[in-house]
Amino acid sequence: MEGPDSDGKHEGQTTEREIFGWYMYDWANSPYFQVYLGPILLILLKWLAEGYAAQGLTEGQKEDSHHLTIPGIGITAGSYPAIVQLITTCVQVVCLLTFSAFGDFGGRRKQLLVALTMAGSALVCLNIFCYSSSMWWVAGLLRVSSGSCFSLATVYYNSYLPVLVASHKDLQGLEGEALEIETTMVTDKLSGHGMMIGYAGGLTMLIISGVILQVFECKDGQDCSEFNTFFWPCLCVFLVGVWWAAFSQITFRRLKTRVGPPFPKGNVMCLGWRQSAQTLCYMCSRRQTLLFMCSFFLYSDGINTICTAAPLIMEDELKLGMKASVINAGLGAVAALLGVFMFMRLQACLGWSGKAMIISQLFLYSFMSGLGGGGLITAWPTWGFYVIMAPSLIMMGAIQSYTRSLFASLIPKGMESAMFAFFAITDKGSNVIGPCVIALVHNWTGKYTGVFLYLMPAFLLAAIILCFLDAEPNSDEGLLCEGEDTVSETDKEDD
């Protein structure tokens, strides 16, 4: 299937200045998920919901925090963070289907990246006002809206990767198999370096947040007001928004527009849905791409479910506060950063493909989930938690990098935004399962560790599916689905 010619080669060869600008967006936006979504937001949402649910209750009733129910809704306060994640996912999927394809046409790829970054960072900054338990619903609303901006911005950012690789100096003059091999190497290099820089940025923001909470967080034994309990985590979230907006300016100044063709005529709001249907039809006709997306659907949800459950388990099972959660997240960021470097070196020594690296990591994830589901954390809360989470975090950055580069190698020229949009839709769409499992497990058991019983078979099945993927160049030469012609005819009628 041919897409719009949006390779941007007429803007010249990819420069080191432009590559650095692309890297810096990883540095700018990583604190959003490493700080905001990781150690702070989930616990903050839980605390706000518990504070609101506990209003009017006796001290004895408040101590049974596992079964505090939000008035008028009927869900436990502990399941509220997962419910917010679920709603966010649904809204993100609709937004991705409606707007993601806009990045393939004209200069809108960069324009939308700028607009969504500034809107998303502003929404994150508004969390500074969520220092009262009565604002529990506002904090959830800001998560949903800022998450939609973040997801769309990430689509436009990721769509630059194959475009920058196509115009890279190392690919000039190469043809055939040599071009394919060098393209894969450059893609892996850029993706891996970007991921490492991103984790470094997230770690820096985690250190800043940890210092703030160490100095100002309410200590044990103190009579803490609601303001002192909630304001300092909200301040850390505010700084995440400032960080995202400030450092992304480097990206905006250095990244070229890399324009595509003129915007098509017709109903532009339906373009994303039509293009997504066309992309889905394309993937269904290409066995290798379909296998990858099926596997990714499973393990993407598994990884995101671990990220959602980990801080909640720390707060619930280990009885750790916000400061300890941030410190552990900082250690996790260091582990993930070192993991990217370690697995890149390991890959070079073993000569394994990116696909082989992903499969080996998925088997390890399944084993660790089996330990968690088998009661290791319940029996030995502290060290059992770290035995499971340490290797999981070490692999997290590396598997994200390998996934991004493997998928980029499957994208036909001119379909960068559409394919990465579908990639993001699959990522977000799969994440409906994890929050549902977490919410159900907590409502039924009052705990979170039961979620590992779902993760073990999910990772195992994802690894088995990926074993059947042939990622060699030109291995997916199939006929296009008949639906493509239908879509094309519809486009012509709109014109």
**Interval 460-488: pLDDT, tens:** 999 999 999 886 544 444 333 333 443 34
Task: Label residue 224 by pLDDT band (50, 70, 90).
Answer: confident
- So what's the pLDDT on residue 357? 93
Q: Do 475 and 288 contact (CB within 8 A), yes or no?
A: yes
Band the pLDDT of 63: cuts 50, 70, 90. Answer: low
- What number is the average pLDDT over the span 204-211? 92
CA atoms of 33 and 202, how far apart (whole Å): 8
Q: What is the mean pLDDT of residues 448-457?
A: 94
Domain ranges within the chain, ordered by starting residue: 9-476
Residue 284's nearest CA partner among 478, 464, 468 is 478
Name the nearest CA neighbour of 12 among 190, 252, 184, 258: 258
CATH of 9-476, one of 3.10.450.50, 1.20.1250.20, 1.10.645.10, 3.30.360.10: 1.20.1250.20
Residue 10 pLDDT: 54
Mean pLDDT score, 231-238: 95
User: What is the C-alpha to C-alpha distance for residues 349 and 343, in angstroms, rounded to an integer?
Assistant: 10
- Which residues 6+ apart lie within 8 Å of 157 measured at CB? 22, 25, 29, 113
* Better pLDDT: 5 or 289: 289
Residue 410's pLDDT is 80
DSSP SS3 for 360: helix
Q: Which pLDDT score, from 0 to 100, does residue 5 have?
A: 42
Q: Is the model's pTM score more than 0.75?
A: yes
Q: What is the pLDDT of residue 100?
A: 73
| HEC per residue, 66-84 | HHCECCCCCCEHHHHHHHH
Mean pLDDT of 317-344: 83
Please list, residue by residue across 257-296, b when 16 or more beta carbons sit within 10 angstroms of its beta carbon and e when fewer do: ebbbeeebeeeeeebbebbbbbbbbbbebbebbbbbbbbb
Sign of the dihedral defined by the CA atoms of residues 425, 426, 432, 434, in that order: negative
- Per-residue pLDDT tens for 244-270? 999 999 999 999 888 766 767 766 677
pLDDT at residue 492 greater than cutoff 60: no
Q: What is the mean pLDDT of the chain?
A: 83
Helix (H, G, I), strand (E, B) or coil at 338: helix
Token pair for 486? 């239908």
Tell me what pLDDT residue 222 has. 64
